[in-house]
Structure formats: structure tokens, C-alpha cells
Amino acid sequence: MRILVVEDEPHLNDVIVKKMQTEHYSVDSCLNGRDALDYIEGAEYDAIILDIMMPKVSGLDVLKALRLGNDKTPVLLLTAKDSVEDRVTGLDAGADDYLVKPFAFDELLARIRTMLRRASGQADNCLTVADLQMNCDARTVFRGKVPITLSSKEFSILEYMMRNQGIVLTRDKIEQHIWNYDYEGGSNVVDVYIRYLRKKIDDEFTPKLIHTVRGTGYVLRVEK
């Protein structure tokens, strides 16, 4: 899951990024609204953490621009403004959640998980396709009753595919959601990861879940 952190206070920005990274999100960050718009245009994010009061372009303007362009990426407003009026303005402008500074990291993380869950239409933090089960909180994966060990990137790729089950994902799209701007994976790295994932979750099990769509990409679904 790839997340954009927009916060103009460098130290806070830094600590949020580090915290998110330890939770295995791939994170990009920027310090003002104008950069945020560039980042959003250049990549697909699964969630955005947005400060309201920022130089150049304010968080609310970023949010409005986003929604005007029909971008439905979940946005959490993170701000020191805590009046009811401010919250209403923020939520009405298209925010999915609103968290007032100072905040507890656990709460921020829980709210991010909730937003991601809502975006993929799940009721809880578990994803299921056939007998493949993923618990996003505990970061465990089971095929039937067999536990499967995955590296952090493998987990992220599988999570992304399970959240978008039935949808064909191109290599580029997978790369965009798994790696941040700091890394250039190269599309053949995605192929290697998918091959490895198949070995781990499909080789010894039926039905096969990961399928190659020739010339396009990959899809996770139960083939009829």
C-alpha cells in the first residue's frame, strides 16, 4: 500500500514517514501543497495524509482539486484546527477522516487501516479469496490451514492483488502501488515477485489463484 504524507513541519513529517514505513507501507512525503499535487499526478496512492495549513497551496485546496478531478483516493486531514466548524469544512470538502494534532500514532494507523478497508469494501481487516486468508493487522497469510511466510514486499503485492481481486493489474500499476518514488524496481522485478508468490501460494494448492493475462498483467481470482 502506497501512502502520501503531506505535512509542512519537517520533524513531524519525518516521524510519520518512519512510523508508516515500519508498518510496511511504501511512503512518499512532501512539505507543501504544490508538491503534493505533483506527486498525486505522478503516481497512484492508496491513501493520503494531508495537513491543512501549509505554505503555497493549503491542504483544503489540494483536497478540492483532487475531488474536482474525480480522484477518490481516501484522504485523512491531519491538523491543529479543532473547531467543529473546521472539521465540517474539511469533511465537506471531501475528506474521508479528520484527526486533530496532537494525536496518538496508534490512532493514526488504525484510521489509515479503516480508510483502506472502506475503500476496498471490506468489513474487517481480513481479506479472503477462496481459501486464501490474509490478516492485515497481524500480517499473517494462510492457505487453508497452512501458514505462508511472505517477505514484506511479497505481502504488499499479495495484499494489493487481494484488495483488487478480479481486476487485471498491469506490472506498472503493481509497481506504482508497492514501491515509492525512492526506488526503481523495473517491471521484471514484478514478474519475479509474482513467480515467487505463485510458488508460495499456488504451487501446492488448488484452485490456482494468480493468473497471467497475456500482454497485460496479472489478476487474482478463482477461475470458473
Partner 1 sequence: MNKLSIKLRVTLWYTSFMVVLVALTLVFLLSVSNNLSRLAVKDRLISDVEKSFEEIEFDDGELEIDDELDFFDNGVYLSVYGSDGQLLYGGMPSEFDAAIAFSSQELQQAESHGQQWYVYDYRISLEGYGDVWVRGIASQSGTGSTIQTMILLALIALPFVVVIAAVGGYLITKQAFRPITKISEAAEKIGVGNDLTKRIHLGNGKDEIYMLANTFDRMFDRLQRSFETEKQFTSDASHELRTPTSVIIAQCEYAINNADTLEEAKESLTVILGQSEKMSRLISQLLMLARTDKGSQKLELELINLSEISEIIVEEQKIIAEEKNISIQTQIEPDIILRADQTMMMRVFINLISNAVKYGKSGGNVLVRLSKDGDFVTGAVQDNGIGIAEEHMAKIWDRFFQADPARSADEEEGMGLGLSMVKWIIEAHRGTIRAESILGEGSTFVFKIPYL
Query: Least Å distance between CB 83 and partner 1?
Result: 39
Query: Least Å distance between CB 128 and partner 1?
Result: 26
Query: Least Å distance between CB 141 and partner 1?
Result: 15
Alpha-carbon gap, residue 120 to 214, rounded angstroms: 26
- Indicate whether 140 belongs to the interface with partner 1 (CB under 8 A): no
Alpha-carbon gap, residue 175 to 25, rounded angstroms: 13
Residue type, 49: I
CB 7 within 8 A of CB 49: yes
Strand arrangement, sheet containing 210-213: 169-170, 217-220, 210-213
Query: Least Å distance between CB 200 and partner 1?
Result: 9
Angle at 83 between CA 78 and CA 86, to 5 degrees: 60
Which residues inside 168-207 make contact with partner 1, applying CB under 8 A? 179, 181-186, 188-189, 191-193, 195-196, 199
Q: What are phi and psi of 211, to 5 degrees?
A: -125, 145
Nearer Cβ to partner 1, position 46 or 154?
154
- Indicate whether 23 belongs to the interface with partner 1 (CB under 8 A): no
- Indicate whether 216 belongs to the interface with partner 1 (CB under 8 A): no
Task: Catalog residues that contact partner 1 under the rule CB under 8 A.
Answer: 151-154, 179, 181-186, 188-189, 191-193, 195-196, 199
